Amino acid sequence: MGILLVILGNCGCKGRSLKVPNPVFADAPPRRSLVNQTADAEEQRLAMVQSSTGTNVQKIGYSKNNLDPLTGTTVVADVNGKPVFVDDVLGGARQIIESDPRLPESKRQEVIEATLRKRLPKYVEDELIVQALEKKIPEDKRDAIKETLEPQFQKVITGIKEKEGFVTDQQLDERLAKEGISVDSLRDNFLRMQMVEGYIGTSIKVPETIDREVLVSYYQEHINDYTPVEEVRFAEIVIRFRDHGGRDGAEQAMTNVVTQLQSGKDFGDVAQALSDTMTAEKRGEIGWIKRGSLTDKALEDMLFEMPDEEISSVQVRSDRFEVYKVIDHRDPGTIPFQEVQKEIETTLLNEMKLEARQKVRREIREKGNVNTIFGESFEKEFRDASKL
């Protein structure tokens, strides 16, 4: 949506566990179709009142053949009888799209529709979760929860102001207004996020520890992951023919290199003084390579077979002479189970949590009645996602 909402999403806004019983899913209301009409804000409010009193939701929809554009108050979905509006899903993004001077008028509706189609599934799924949670929380307790979360939200706002370099609330308000949002809308999004994460957090059942036998089995099945590839660290001295007037001149230069090395001079000092390549700046050092990373397999085999501190013979190429020194080896060896036991347990627990979260979301999708302006194909994709 905008940089500030991205910041909000990255400010550690993880849901607290809301201490309420897991909702029991009641029968959802019958499906209602959305027809191709639009309504102004007053009609939308009437539709919401009708829904709350048990009357059919006002049937409002949109199609590409409809002359009326998508506006902030266009109903785009019906979630268990509750209408969802464009601005519920897009928020300030719609205003940004509509005011973007780079977009011709003919394209703005296409961009709004594409953005809406992308964001709607997640919004609808979250709405189903919010509805399930609200069934179990009396309205007065919802207000208490909001009050409890307010200090955490204020920390988020403070973090945004610090990151953006804002000193006053007015600076923040002005920036948010440019993105079509406000502190209140940020608060609503924050509370919604907390409700969704809180519901999921209280719904999943994951053990705190995993039996050692399971960890050992995982370790054995993934033993290659705990067996590092052999590596070698080496340096080079390169004498290129072109830098010495041809092969004869290069041969004389390499003879000087060999003489200095044989006299006991440090390989790095000689490389820095005489090597013709950029590695001279690093005293000839190439660094670490894994076996299998060089295209010249003969050179690779030679380097891995040489012991530490050994200097190779002169290697003759078509355009240069080379000398190598092996500095160090990292030999392959399987990491003991005890050293990775905690890491494996964390990995498996995270996988279990992810699977449990996905299961909760699947159950929510399966129980919900959803209709959207995008028709049966969209709704089928939404329902089918619960089977994955």
Whether residue 7 sits in one domain with residue 69: yes
The tokens describing 15, both together, are 């849901």
Whole-model pTM above 0.75? no
Label residue 346 by pLDDT band (50, 70, 90): very high
**Do 254 and 179 share a structural domain?**
no
> Which of the four pLDDT bands, split at 50, 70 and 90, describes residue 32?
very low
Q: What is the model's pLDDT at position 29?
A: 39
Domain count, the chain: 2
359 and 324 housed in the same domain: no
Decide if 181 is inside a domain. Answer: yes
State the residue for tokens 């005489």.
274
Q: Is residue 255 part of a domain?
A: yes
pLDDT digits (tens, 9 = 90+) for 87-134: 999 988 888 888 888 988 888 889 999 999 999 999 999 999 999 888
Q: Do the domain assignments include residue 342?
A: no
Q: How far, in Å, CA of 66 to CA of 373, rounded? A: 12
C-alpha 324/C-alpha 21 separation (Å) is 69
User: Which of 182-186, 260-264, 299-303 is predicted least confidently?
Assistant: 182-186
Report which listed range, 116-130, 155-169, 265-279, is most confident.
265-279
CA 324 to the chain's CA centroid: 43
Q: Are 131 and 174 within one domain?
A: yes
Residue 340 falls inside a structural domain = no
Q: Are residues 201 and 254 in the same domain?
A: no
More confident residue, 61 or 56: 61
One domain for residues 302 and 362 = no
Give the contacts of 381 (CB within 8 A, at least 6 positions apart).
Answer: 121
* pLDDT for the residue numbered 387: 52
Choose between 367 and 19: higher pLDDT: 367
Does residue 84 belong to any structural domain of this protein? yes
Task: Read off the pLDDT band of 384 (50, 70, 90).
Answer: low
SS3 state at 138: coil
Question: 62-76, 80-94, 140-154, 254-268: which range is least confident on average?
Answer: 62-76
Q: Are residues 25 and 171 in the same domain?
A: yes
State whether 46 and 13 are in the same domain: yes
Task: Say yes or no: 298 and 380 in one domain.
Answer: no
240 versus 14: the higher-pLDDT residue is 240
Residue 253 clears pLDDT 50, i.e. is over it: yes
Q: Whose CA is closest to 260, among 331, 177, 323, 321? A: 323
**Better-predicted residue by pLDDT, 367 or 43:** 367
Tell me if residue 316 falls in helix, strand or coil.
strand
Q: What integer pLDDT is reported at residue 265 of this predicted model?
A: 97
- What pLDDT score was predicted for residue 56? 32
40-44, 281-285, 294-298: segment of lowest average pLDDT: 40-44
Average pLDDT of span 348-366: 91
Checking if the pLDDT of 337 tops 90, the result is: yes
Whether residue 266 is contained in a domain is answered as yes
Average pLDDT of 145-169? 90
Which domain range does residue 153 map to?
3-208+350-387
Is residue 223 domain-resident?
Answer: no
Contact 120, 86 (CB under 8 A): no
Burial class of 181 by CB neighbour count within 10 A (0 to 12, 13 to 18, 19+) = buried
323 contacts 257 by C-beta, under 8 angstroms: yes
Asked if the model's pLDDT at residue 28 lies above 80, the reply is: no
pLDDT at 287 over 70: yes
Whether 120 and 196 share a structural domain: yes
Are both 194 and 62 inside the same structural domain? yes
**pLDDT (tens digit, 9 = 90+) per residue, 204-245?**
888 999 999 999 999 999 998 999 889 999 999 999 999 999
Q: Does any domain span residue 344? A: no
110 lies in the same domain as 173: yes
Mean pLDDT of 328-340: 91
Q: How far apart are CA 257 and CA 284, in angstroms?
A: 13
CATH number at 246 reads 3.10.50.40
